[in-house]
Amino acid sequence: MSEQGPDKRRRAAQLDPEQTAAVLAPRGPVCVLAGAGTGKTRTITHRIAHLVEDGHVAAGQVLAVTFTSRAAAEMRARLRALGVGGGDGAPGVQAVTFHAAAMRQLRYFWPRAIGDTRWQLLDNKFPIVGRAARDCGLRPETDTIRDLLSEIDWAKASEITPELYAEAVERVGRTAPVAPRTVADVYAAYERRKTDQDGNRLLDFDDLILMTAAILDENHQVAEEFRDRYRSFVVDEYQDVTPLQQRLLNAWLGERDDLTVVGDANQTIYSFTGASPRYLLDFTRRFEDATIVRLQRDYRSTPQVVELANKVISAATGRVAGTRLELVGQRPAGPRPRYEECDDEPAEARLVAERIGELLAAGVPASEMAILYRINAQSAVHENALTEAGIPYQVRGGDSFFERPEIGQAIRELSGRATESGSVEGDELVGLVSATLERLGLTAEPPDGARARERWESLRALVELTRDLLAERGGLTLIELLSELRSRAEAKHPPTMQGVTLSSLHAAKGLEWDAVFLVGLTEGSVPIAQAIAKGEAEPIEEERRLLYVGVTRAREHLQLSWALARNEGGRRGRKRTRFLDVVAAEADDGARRPPAQASGGPIRGKRRSSDTCRVCGKILDTRDEKLKSRCEDCPSDLNDDLLMALKVWRTGQASEQKIPPYTIFSNATLFAIAEHQPRTRAALVRINGIGATKADKYGEDVLSLVHEHV
Ligand code: ATP
Ligand code: MG
């Protein structure tokens, strides 16, 4: 715990003065209110590391919560990087979703607080809601069951009981899918159906939270033990807390106030589930001596992306909108966002796949790209186009990784090996895992067909996860691997796969990628038809915020697209989303681009990314400009001559070895070489994308090119 160690100083240098103020604030209430990409998540992870390192609290006494398992995984990764993620037998900071935290606590406290009756997690409510509806004399269609289920979810998250449901709907002006009385009856029947005659219970996700809060509220002994165990609380994305989750948070805290929250009211996108930014906005009312920090500098995205984000949200109205701050981009300039209007959805998907192919060729890894859409059903057309283009991908929000049958099967097979090979470790372990998975279908090359491919991708991800864990821990046995897999399965933390991410806008919150494709941006999709149908301002505002969340996920490349028809040759009756009216001129450009060869201009969709300026995104004309990847008059912070020489050299190498140029060095790596101009092998391997193997193979060539051009 060195007070002024190099680690600590290095870390301090990674924070700006406002972030530092939040990190160093004394124990007690802290609230960071700031826009997207301003480093809120970074700030809280550093704050946790600071509190732990300065001995204010032990890592195991900190509970950090957020809302999606992916965001929790992101937080854990960042905490590990800061050295407070646990390991070597010491408990680390717990960074989990509200649900995972509640589940863990309930498992622990249930026997003591409730006793003999048992509970089981109900992770699919659908059949029970269906039965409950039939109990009430309904003959519901699938869609009606789904609507009833959302109503029950909303009511439970808002702490509204069946008895109070009808009145609450009236009070908040909510439109119920069927008569409010009927919803209330189904809701009550649903609750009854979850307990059997012996008192054993099925608990849905909200029950986990409700039960845990109730136990802490009512059982002093349990509450005391809990509060002794957890002393410091942190909530990321606090604008999306529901009244029920807030109740649990209150139960955790008791009379204490060691709570750090961060959030952005303009990213409130879960109102339909009962989430509300009022707890964030009223934080200082509740904790009068809270430290408040506002952040404005956007470290995630290029100024071009930030400009669009600011424009999109500037049109917002209402209380939430009043809290926004204009983001100020901190990164070097990048390409302008692209706007693409397509005839139909398959064409849109092909265009996106093609562009992804170009970015891959330019060295952007697949794992650094995402396609984001409004509803999960929109993924199918993009899955097809990507499969056709041979681009690996994974879908978020489908079956979660550990729920996939092949992963369950793989874990069972590996467990079967544990008796004889439990202590196998290191490379041997990776070998054992690969061999086991080969028998389950992990071939050297991916198979054809979307399903088979998905299965293959997840098996491969399991091998990658094993490698990662091994590298991270410096050693790992089969027994340890299995225990890690089980605990991840419980927390549903999937390993990152090496494919393009397909995700709904909702599930993308808090995450970031180098390249983001926002697709299906039509009226009826964003804003979604149901929001338009309500004819009220607030549902539309929520959709606007959703687009804002989407735009702000991109670090560098951003493409916004929409299709005029659903099917090929279909009626082109759709309209671009109203939210892009703030950039009408640019967006109109996307629509007016000449069709193939019409004006002798570039052929649509055939344009190569190396043919656009890396600073302003304009299409380049001359060979010289293309080699430098920028216009003659755009500013440059790197040695252009060297860059050109490197590209020429790479082209030569590629044709000599008959391999694609990007497998030698990506464009990003070439830019980095031209920027840093390394003179020694040691300096060369410090550059991203150059490991020992590449240095052995190409180091001499590169160093002599640097020598020649500097
Ligand atoms: P969101 O609202 O989308 O959740 P956020 O405010 O949580 O965004 P972070 O994810 O913490 O933002 O940070 C955005 C990016 O900026 C991350 O890649 C992070 O590492 C980087 N970043 C944050 N602060 C700094 C800083 N002071 N210097 C350099 N990079 C930073
Ligand atoms: Mg964040």
User: What digits encode the pLDDT tens for the residues 168-179?
Assistant: 999 988 888 889
Three-state DSSP at 342 gives strand
pLDDT of 105 above 70: yes
Judge if the beta carbon of residue 41 lies within 6 A of ligand 1.
yes
Confidence of residue 294 (pLDDT cuts 50, 70, 90): very high
Report pLDDT for 648. 83
Report pLDDT for 347. 93
pLDDT of 238 above 50: yes
Q: Do residues 502 and 371 touch, judged by C-beta distance below 8 A? A: yes
Report pLDDT for 36. 95
Rounded mean pLDDT of 209-229?
Answer: 95
Within 10 Å of residue 266's Cβ, how many Cβ atoms? Answer: 27
Nearest-CA neighbor of 308 among 274, 343, 336?
Answer: 336
> Is the CATH number of domain 5-107+207-295 2.20.130.10?
no
Q: What is the DSSP string of 46-61?
A: HHHHHHHHTTSS-GGG
33, 41, 516: residue to mutate for ligand 1 pocket, most atoms within 8 A of CB: 41
Judge if the beta carbon of residue 661 lies within 6 A of ligand 1.
no
Nearest-CA neighbor of 501 among 488, 487, 519?
Answer: 519
Report pLDDT for 699. 92
Judge if the beta carbon of residue 300 lies within 6 A of ligand 1.
yes
Residue ID of nearest Cα to ligand 1 atom 2: 36
Rounded mean pLDDT of 145-161?
Answer: 93
Q: Do residues 554 and 336 touch, judged by C-beta distance below 8 A? A: no
- Would you state the structure tokens that stand for residue 270, as one six-digit string? 């879960």
- Would you state the structure tokens that stand for residue 555, as one six-digit string? 């670090």
Rounded mean pLDDT of 678-702?
Answer: 85
Beta bridge partners of 234: 64, 260
Judge if the beta carbon of residue 14 lies within 6 A of ligand 1.
yes
pLDDT mean across residues, the chain:
86
Rounded mean pLDDT of 542-564?
Answer: 97
Distance CA 93, CA 57 (A): 10
pLDDT tens-place string over residues 244-259? 999 999 999 999 999 9
Distance 680 CA to ligand 2 centre (A): 38
Residue ID of nearest Cα to ligand 1 atom 31: 299
Confidence of residue 12 (pLDDT cuts 50, 70, 90): low
How much is the pTM? 0.71
Rounded mean pLDDT of 403-407?
Answer: 79
Q: 370 or 486: which carries more pLDDT confidence?
A: 370
Judge if the beta carbon of residue 299 lies within 6 A of ligand 1.
yes
Confidence of residue 491 (pLDDT cuts 50, 70, 90): low
Distance 332 CA to ligand 2 centre (A): 21
Q: 600 or 314: which carries more pLDDT confidence?
A: 314
Rounded mean pLDDT of 290-313?
Answer: 95
Judge if the beta carbon of residue 296 lies within 6 A of ligand 1.
no
Report pLDDT for 241. 96
Distance CA 583, CA 60 (A): 48
Burial of residue 257 (number of CB atoms within 10 Å: 0-12, 13-18, 19+) = middle
Report pLDDT for 26. 92
Residue ID of nearest Cα to ligand 1 atom 24: 39
Report pLDDT for 88. 63
Judge if the beta carbon of residue 39 lies within 6 A of ligand 1.
yes
Confidence of residue 610 (pLDDT cuts 50, 70, 90): very low
Report pLDDT for 11. 60
Q: Do residues 135 and 189 touch, judged by C-beta distance below 8 A? A: yes
Three-state DSSP at 689 gives coil
Judge if the beta carbon of residue 25 lies within 6 A of ligand 1.
no
Distance 41 CA to ligand 2 centre (A): 4
Distance CA 551, CA 547 (A): 6
Rounded mean pLDDT of 422-434?
Answer: 88
Three-state DSSP at 513 gives strand
- Closest atom of ligand 1 relative to the 237 alpha carbon: 4
Judge if the beta carbon of residue 19 lies within 6 A of ligand 1.
yes
Rounded mean pLDDT of 510-524?
Answer: 95
Judge if the beta carbon of residue 510 lies within 6 A of ligand 1.
yes
Confidence of residue 589 (pLDDT cuts 50, 70, 90): confident
- Closest atom of ligand 1 relative to the 299 alpha carbon: 16
pLDDT of 136 above 70: yes
Least confident of 202-211, 234-243, 475-484, 619-628: 619-628
Q: Residue 509 CA: which ligand is closest? A: 1
Percent of the chain surpassing pLDDT 70? 90
- Would you state the structure tokens that stand for residue 666, as one six-digit string? 């990506």
- Name the DSSP letter for residue 580: G
Report pLDDT for 676. 83
Distance 581 CA to ligand 1 centre (A): 28
Torsion angles phi and psi, residue 446, rounded to 5: -65, 145
Q: Residue 329 CA: which ligand is closest? A: 1
Judge if the beta carbon of residue 501 lies within 6 A of ligand 1.
no
Rounded mean pLDDT of 101-105?
Answer: 92
Rounded mean pLDDT of 109-135?
Answer: 89
Residue ID of nearest Cα to ligand 1 atom 23: 39
Distance CA 367, CA 350 (A): 19
Q: Residue 299 CA: which ligand is closest? A: 1
Least confident of 122-126, 451-455, 460-464, 653-657: 451-455
23, 31, 42: residue to mutate for ligand 1 pocket, most atoms within 8 A of CB: 42
Q: Residue 64 CA: which ligand is closest? A: 2
Distance 117 CA to ligand 2 centre (A): 40
Judge if the beta carbon of residue 37 lies within 6 A of ligand 1.
yes
Distance 263 CA to ligand 2 centre (A): 8
Q: 668 or 144: which carries more pLDDT confidence?
A: 144
Judge if the beta carbon of residue 46 lies within 6 A of ligand 1.
no
Q: What is the CATH number of domain 621-709?
A: 1.10.150.80
Judge if the beta carbon of residue 667 lies within 6 A of ligand 1.
no
Report pLDDT for 87. 64
Report pLDDT for 606. 30
Distance 154 CA to ligand 1 centre (A): 31
Report pLDDT for 451. 60
